[in-house]
Chains A and B, each alone.
Chain A
């Protein structure tokens, strides 16, 4: 790309050939008013607000649709430009209801802001105003389409970014209406981004409708907790009440977007039944108590059971979205009291790789590279529901690249697949191995003799060959494994196949994980086979062993195995039968109160400081946005106090930062350990029953999401999960 030189408002600038005036101005902070233009969307040039004055062009031109040229002199504030902008503003306002006092967008409205600068005090429009009937778009998005200025950002978002056209602009002329035309809830899992995109109050967030005015809110930066991306967010709150959560721009993670799950999960904190005081069950009845009493009860129960069984009959299960500090302290504490039974992997079935000592989870490449992949192979990846924003990145790559899938289910995609294999779940590893066979045929110098021996007898068909060829031929290629892979009984084989295929085809590879902090949990050592940063540990029981064998006592940290585990039925029974279940939880509802004996109220997301480590290995720390309600305390503090009560040394932390710094230092010392697998065990047959399972649905992944009211009312809450146990009927 060449460069051109130009001048905007007297600033001499250099810009890429082909860029539009508005992009160049934005980069240097020269403000040009606009409504339809958005840097992440195609140029529509329909609002006509961004008119600027360009030398040698008699009429003002739209800055969003006028490419820069060598020697161009652009002025944004001349009478010609201002006159054009003001006249457009007048047109936009004549049919706008000007109901700012009752509009949720008031105070943060692009139309309102610009009308202060470009609008007139008195309207010269004396005809009747347009009124538009509202359509119900479901539980997340409130509409007031009379306010719409037809910028079509929401329409373009669906069409371009999401790839699912639900919103449209029907009718023509003055009667154009933005909407779904027929009434019906928007189904996309990233739908609420149109709320942010809407420059007026036509689309606002339904869960926070009329709850607060923008200027009453305080904003604090945080990290979303429901998928392995770790989207950056702002929490908007008034006092200790969270009013809403909105995306915080981070080009390398969530760009400017947010999944509906990350946006509306906060409702669990404000609208569900919270645990406000420690509780002890006495004769089957819950009694609220003070922290001291409850903690003493925990200590005596733990001493009794751990002492009696040498730690064997006690087990700790940590949840999907607890902070790294919490899981680090949990494992340090529990190992300190002589128990090694700790795990977070309640959905894992294959633990054969546990001894290898890898520290990191997930990706070996930065996520933003997905945008530019010429070939992407998905393995059992239901991206739209696992990591909705990753799906948007993959979609971007389909503008030029190929996306292929070996998915043991009839997936919902927002892009077109060039190759698709739909094996039965039990055949997933077999099918994937055939691709490796095909790749090995193209590039035979990479695999070891042992590996070739392992693959012996597996045959590749045309599709396998085409997939392998696409990965080999394209320099930018990657293999993405979905959450389901790690839940498959042959997870280790599939991981090995992916790693091998990546090296044969020179591709990047990575696997998605459930929840926001699988990497953090693993690095922190909340696993039975290794302590923090891959440190040594006496062997302990893994989640499957703990949940299926029946321990005397369980210690749950924001974890509900009765829902979350693949062993949920056995888990529930064993929890019910246990002598003592200690639950650290923010919530007072669900089934935990049925089987727990002591409940300790801990802070939920956004109520505690902490760190999440995302699937790429990014450590993202955050402060508490609001304080926890009642007597609830941050989990890390509860664990510290428990350790203090056991008089363990090394628990003198005054802040969560000291905790994470300690872990980070250990982690830095060993680095990013990725121990390559040797050849896995032979490819034994598994039954379809063993391999298949129900996914944890889009809005079922963790205790918080399960309690988010509006999300639970969406169509996706009932139509998802899609079943993976689909046996082909052909």
Chain B
């Protein structure tokens, strides 16, 4: 459905800040103007990043309306690509490769160590909402197997020590962010409905 009688961009503009709208607009510019769908993936990523790593139905609909495409076109994309999460996940999604090269080089030990350290199983999220462990297929870093990706950074040639370091680095970042985000919460922009939710 492409006929809307209201400003189709309004919904998304309420959900994410202006600079992220600009980021989406920059993606839109890469494609021929009569093509509405090419920026779907990029727009969903912007929204997902903003929302703490997962998408809601409302957000997918807002993206569809912003880009002037049918809702189901966005659902199809969001459910097809493995980087989109449709359920709440941790602020830091630890994606561990367990494909051939990584499993030859001990991916199962990486997973085991992470599970022990975080006290959750693969697919679960820690109670504090900080971590999710996810197994993923080959991420094109087999020369550094075993590997994982978290917060958009690849970590290769993993050992237990390296994993511990990664976790403590994240924890350190969380600590500083936490104190500053507390401050943010106090003067949170009320028009941004999700600024609070992402902190839960």
| A residues with CB within 8 A of B | 164-172, 180-182, 410, 412-413
Contacts and interface: CB of A to CB of B under 8 A. Distances in A.
A171 B73 CA distance: 12
A414 to B, nearest CB: 10
B57 A170 contact: no
A168 B72 contact: yes
Contacts of A168: 70, 72-73, 75-76
B186 interface: no
Contact of B5 (A170, A180, A410): A410
B1 interface: yes
Given A181-B75, A182-B57, A171 B80 contact: yes
B75 A170 contact: yes
Interface in B37-79: 57, 70-73, 75-76, 79
Given A164-B1, A410-B5, A412-B3, A172 B79 contact: yes
Contacts of A413: 3
Contacts of B76: 168-170, 181
Contact of B72 (A165, A171, A172, A412): A165
A180 B73 CA distance: 10
3 A-B pairs with least C-beta separation: A168-B72, A165-B70, A181-B75
A181 B76 CA distance: 8
A654 to B, nearest CB: 54
A167 B80 CA distance: 15
Given A164-B1, A412-B3, A413-B3, A181 B72 contact: yes
Contacts of A167: 72
SS class, residues of chain A in contact with chain B? loop
A133 to B, nearest CB: 14
A143 to B, nearest CB: 15
A175 to B, nearest CB: 8
Instruction: Report whether over half of chain B's contact residues are helix, strand or loop; otherwise say mixed.
Output: helix
A170 B79 contact: yes
A157 to B, nearest CB: 13
Nearest to A411: B3
Contacts of A172: 79-80
A168 B1 CA distance: 13
A410 B4 CA distance: 11
Contacts of B71: 181-182
A413 B2 CA distance: 10
30 contacts: A164-B1, A165-B1, A165-B72, A165-B73, A166-B1, A166-B70, A167-B72, A168-B70, A168-B72, A168-B73, A168-B75, A168-B76, A169-B76, A170-B76, A170-B79, A170-B80, A171-B79, A172-B79, A172-B80, A180-B72, A181-B71, A181-B72, A181-B75, A181-B79, A182-B57, A182-B71, A182-B75, A410-B5, A412-B3, A413-B3
A171 B5 CA distance: 30
Which of A167, A170, A410 has most B Cβ within 10 Å? A170
Interface string B3-24: 1010000000000000000000
A135 to B, nearest CB: 12
Nearest to B79: A170
A181 B57 CA distance: 10
Q: By CB atoms of chain B within 10 A, which of A165, A169, A180, A410 has the most?
A: A165
B37 to A, nearest CB: 11
A716 to B, nearest CB: 13
Interface of B: 1, 3, 5, 57, 70-73, 75-76, 79-80
Nearest to A410: B5
A166 B72 contact: yes
Nearest to A188: B1
Contacts of B5: 410
A165 B71 CA distance: 8
Contacts of A410: 5
Of B3, B57, B73, the most chain A CB neighbours within 10 A belong to B3
A20 to B, nearest CB: 26
Which residue, A166, A171, A181, A182, has most C-beta atoms of chain B within 10 A?
A: A181
Nearest to B69: A165
A167 B73 CA distance: 9
A702 B118 CA distance: 67
Given A165-B70, A169-B76, 10 more contacts: A166-B1, A167-B72, A168-B72, A170-B72, A170-B79, A172-B79, A172-B80, A181-B71, A182-B71, A412-B3
Nearest to A167: B72
A165 to B, nearest CB: 4
Nearest to A170: B79
Contacts of A180: 72
Contacts of B72: 165-168, 170, 180-181
Nearest to A184: B71
Nearest to B78: A170
Nearest to A159: B70
B45 to A, nearest CB: 17
B43 to A, nearest CB: 17
B50 to A, nearest CB: 21
A728 to B, nearest CB: 13
A679 to B, nearest CB: 38
B76 to A, nearest CB: 5
A169 B76 CA distance: 6
A168 B73 CA distance: 7
A120 B84 CA distance: 40
Nearest to B70: A165
Q: Which of B5, B73, B76 has the largest count of A CB atoms less than 10 A from its CB?
A: B76
Nearest to B75: A181
Contacts of A171: 79-80
Contacts of B75: 168, 170, 181-182
Contacts of A169: 76
A412 B75 CA distance: 23
Contacts of B57: 182
Contacts of B79: 170-172, 181
A167 B75 CA distance: 11
Which of B5, B71, B72, B80 is the most central at the interface, judged by chain A CB atoms within 10 Å of its CB? Answer: B72
Nearest to A179: B72
Nearest to B5: A410
Contacts of B80: 170-172
A168 B114 CA distance: 37
Nearest to B77: A170
A165 B80 CA distance: 17
Contacts of A165: 1, 70, 72-73
Contacts of A181: 71-72, 75-76, 79
A8 to B, nearest CB: 37
- Identify the interface centre among A172, A410, A412, A413: most chain B CB within 10 Å of its CB: A172
B111 to A, nearest CB: 22
Contacts of B3: 412-413
B193 to A, nearest CB: 19
A723 to B, nearest CB: 13
A180 B72 CA distance: 7
A262 B70 CA distance: 27
B82 to A, nearest CB: 8
A155 to B, nearest CB: 9
Contacts of B73: 165, 168
Nearest to B3: A412
Nearest to B82: A172
Contacts of B70: 164-166, 168
Contacts of A170: 72, 75-76, 79-80
A30 to B, nearest CB: 36
Contacts of A164: 1, 70
A167 B1 CA distance: 12
B61 to A, nearest CB: 8
A173 to B, nearest CB: 9
B6 to A, nearest CB: 12
Nearest to A169: B76
A169 B75 CA distance: 9
A410 B80 CA distance: 36
A573 B24 CA distance: 60
B85 to A, nearest CB: 14
A420 to B, nearest CB: 11
